[in-house]
Structure 1
Amino acid sequence: MGAILGRRRARREEQKKPVKTRGRRAPQGATRNAVVAEKPAGKGKSGGAPSVWFNRLLILLGAAVVFTAALKAVITVQSLPVQRISVTGELEHTQAQAVQDMVQPGLAGGFLSADLQQIQRQLEGLPWIYKATVRRKWPSSLEIHVVEELPIARWGQDGFLNHEGGVFRSDKAGEWEALPRLQGPKGSAQSLVEKYQRLVDILAPLNLAVEQLAIDERGQLEAVLEGGIQLSLGGDEFLERMDRFIGIYRTELAARKSEIERVDLRYESGIAVAFKEPTEADPSHVAGL
């Protein structure tokens, strides 16, 4: 029993002894049992800074190289010349070579630098071109599709009108002598085309064609039909007057179509008809119907 107690005392004494450690000595006044451990050898907080900055520099240099190469490629592509110009469409009055010659100055800057909208406007300024479509085809071609004007009437002495009332000029007016002629003050073309188309629709069931239609500064309409029949239509209410004319023409005038010289529709009710000069067997007269 005494031996066992002796061993326990010895263990307690050993536990009270300070523990020796490697490294720096404990500061003066520190607890005897405190353990002072040295930091393991190695890099501190700033130990990896040079490597991080070097990596960043490499990334920046790489990005600069890529950007420079891309910019150089874009500049190179922009300056590439247009090597082929194709012109398509049903061309009767426009030469494909004339179209190509017109667009050449706009291609001086290269394939990508060409202003396609400006080229389109220039082409649509040509006499017989109603609409032009211009597009790039990679890598060095330009495709142009042309829709020519379709004249529905002559305008004045040397002009033409399209279906929208647009006026265009041409030195080939002689080829279109059979077209009806429209005449009016400046700015009246579009509204006159609309009136002309209405008249054509109204007179078609009667087999009467409009050869001329004119409007003056006061808005008064005068028409000449096939066979030389002159119609005085008046102003804006000419559609109502035409309804009256159709009824009377069918019942009274159709049988004498070749004799009619002039019909005046400018009356509130009825019309006035002047017939052509008579032969000896057919005295002339003016009828009020």
Structure 2
Amino acid sequence: MTRAANKKGAVRNQREPRFEGLWSLLRTAMFTLLWSCFALGMLWGGVLLYQNLDRPIERISVQGDFKYASREQIARLVRGQLNGGFLSLELGKIRSQLERDPWIANAVVSRRWPGHLEISVTEEMPIARWNRRGFLNSRGQALDIEDNSGLESLPLLLGPRGQARAIMEEYQHAAQMLLPSGLKTMEFRLDNRRAWYLKVVAASGTGVVENSALEIEVGQGNVTEKLKRFLAVYDTVLRHRQGEIAQIDIRYPNGVAVSWRSQTAIGKQKSGEAKNG
């Protein structure tokens, strides 16, 4: 009897671990299924929420002080880049596109719930016209625009491509030297032979003096030293005879050459001034 009972108990003990292992596997499968359903539900809910929040942009506002660009122009440019909703918009791409415009120095693009896009723009500050089209900003960068005729009050800088920054720096130094003598630099040029040319006008408190334009041939190198010699002669001798001067050549190391206008030309100028007066 004892042996038979022991044999039955052994069979039962062998069956129980097998049943428990099957039940454990079943519980694991059910737990995994429940978590998978929960995760899928969360994912689906997230997709629905994202689609609900990613609504079309309803309003674009543009902030900044504008003289050459316009809010309407910038808003039109942004609308052309609206390739998504409130959440899916690529703000970096919109900012990069805005900053490709020569009149925009930098732009900040941000969202405001529920469907508002805010654009903050800093406009470029033109310091001078560059060649026959374009302008130079305060950093000496040459920026191309279709027409720079609206910048006629700015000095004109001319020179080879790739030399904009160097010409800008030389111009600023020369303009500062000439200003105390009442001379305003209107044109500053570097030719292909590396020779410099200036065109200046006499400026008064009320503006530019009529018929006071002077063309100055500087030549190659040593702009500062040559302008110092010119100013010494101009302040002592030439200032009061400005209307008689056709051109000034300061290429020489020890002097200044002056080309005088003919008496006929001077007479015509004075006659014209009398008629205008």
Tell me if 1:66 matches 2:47: no
Instruction: Output the CA distance in 1 between the equivalents of 2:18 and 2:222.
Output: 96
Does the CA-based 8 Å contact 1:165-1:191 persist in structure 2? no
> Which residue matches 1:54?
30
Instruction: Output the CA distance in 2 between the equivalents of 1:203 and 1:145.
Output: 38
Q: Deviations over 1:187-243 (max 9, x none)?
A: 333322222111111212222110111221112111011121221112232223223
Please report how far the alpha carbon of residue 141 of structure 1 lies from its aligned counterpart in structure 2 after TM superposition: 1.6
Does the CA-based 8 Å contact 2:104-2:124 persist in structure 1? yes
Give ranges in structure 1 of 5+ residues lacking alignment.
1-23, 28-35, 280-289
- The correspondence of residues 1-289 of structure 1 with structure 2, limited to 5 A, is 25=2, 44=17, 47=20, 48-49=23-24, 50-78=26-54, 80-126=55-101, 128-163=103-138, 164-171=140-147, 173=149, 175-226=150-201, 227-254=212-239, 256-278=241-263
Q: Deviations over 1:24-83 (max 9, x none)?
A: 8369xxxxxxxx9xx99x9647525133432232122212221232234334444x2111
Change (3 A) 1:105 1:169: closer
Instruction: Output the CA distance in 2 between the equivalents of 1:181 and 1:75.
Output: 54
Does the CA-based 8 Å contact 2:134-2:148 persist in structure 1? no
Identity of aligned residues (%): 32
> Which residue matches 2:271?
none
Change (3 A) 1:223 1:119: same
User: How many residue pairs end up in the alignment?
Assistant: 245
Does the CA-based 8 Å contact 1:116-1:135 persist in structure 2? yes
Does the CA-based 8 Å contact 1:127-1:170 persist in structure 2? no
What code does the residue aligned with 2:72 have?
Q
Give the number of the structure whose alpha-carbon radius of gyration is greater. Answer: 1
What code does the residue aligned with 1:140 have?
G
Does the CA-based 8 Å contact 2:130-2:142 persist in structure 1? no
Change (3 A) 1:199 1:46: farther
Hey, which of these two has a bigger chunk of helix by percent?
Answer: 2
Does the CA-based 8 Å contact 2:58-2:116 persist in structure 1? yes
What code does the residue aligned with 2:108 have?
T
Does the CA-based 8 Å contact 1:130-1:148 persist in structure 2? yes
Please report how far the alpha carbon of residue 252 of structure 1 lies from its aligned counterpart in structure 2 after TM superposition: 4.4
What code does the residue aligned with 1:90 have?
D
Give me the CA root mean square deviation.
3.3
Change (3 A) 1:178 1:54: closer
Secondary structure, aligned partner of 1:114: coil
TM score, norm. by length of structure 1? 0.70
Does the CA-based 8 Å contact 1:234-1:265 persist in structure 2? yes
Give ranges in structure 2 of 5+ residues lacking alignment.
202-211, 265-277
Instruction: Output the CA distance in 2 between the equivalents of 1:205 and 1:66.
Output: 74
> Which residue matches 2:273?
none
Please report how far the alpha carbon of residue 127 of structure 1 lies from its aligned counterpart in structure 2 after TM superposition: 5.4
